[in-house]
Amino acid sequence: MPLFESRTELPAKPDQVFDFIVRPANLQAIAPPEIQMVFVDPPEVIELGSKLVCRVVAYGQVQELAYEIVEFVPDQRRFREQAVGGPLPKWIHDYQVETAENDLTVLLNKIEFEPPGGLLGYLVTKEKILDHLDDGFAYRRSAIQKHFS
């Protein structure tokens, strides 16, 4: 199964970073503008069992994606969202906030996914999804670094 990983170093306390990423409004704010991400009736702060529905523009089409928070461990500053609706058969996104050297905090994102099958699979390949994630997380990394600088 394909795997994408992103690492972002931030000049902030781990609890500040975790508090930032558990708020869907903040995740929407750091999303690349071209995907036009909008959460539909999100909770203010996620918790175990939270359901998140968002609309994004991907590959020229508006997609509705649905996720559930299936793990939430605030004392370890980590959580997992899993797709429960959307074009990909499998999507598991792990968020982890860790303490680093030099008073920095590291935000780790790990995404396991399965590309779609059928005709859509010829257009939305593993490589295209990985390229899209590379671009999107480069933007997110820059946006969250600006927020905490």
List the CATH number of the domain containing 7.
Answer: 3.30.530.20
> What domain range includes position 54?
3-148
Rounded to whole angstroms, how far apart are CA atoms 61 and 74? 35
Number of domains within the chain: 1
Supply the pLDDT for residue 54.
95
What is the tens place of the pLDDT at every residue in 98-122?
999 888 999 999 999 999 888 776 7
- CA pair distance 62, 56, nearest whole angstrom: 6
Find, among 58, 68, 67, 64, the residue nearest to 120 by Cα: 58
Buried b (16+ CB within 10 A) or exposed e, 2-37: eebebebebebebeebbbbbbebeebeebbbeebeb
- How far is residue 86's CA from residue 114's CA, in Å, rounded to a whole number? 12
DSSP state of 12: S
Q: What is the pLDDT of residues 20-65, one digit of tens each?
A: 999 999 999 999 999 999 999 999 999 999 999 999 997 778 989 9
Pair 27, 95: CB distance under 8 Å? no
The type of residue at 6 is: S
Question: Locate tokens 């089409």: which residue?
Answer: 61
The DSSP bridge partners found for residue 81 are 69, 93
Q: What is residue 136's predicted lDDT score, i.e. its pLDDT?
A: 95
Query: In the predicted model, what is the mean pLDDT of residues 81-97?
Result: 95
- Show the tokens assigned to 64: 């509705």
pLDDT tens digits for range 115-142: 988 877 677 789 999 999 999 999 999 9
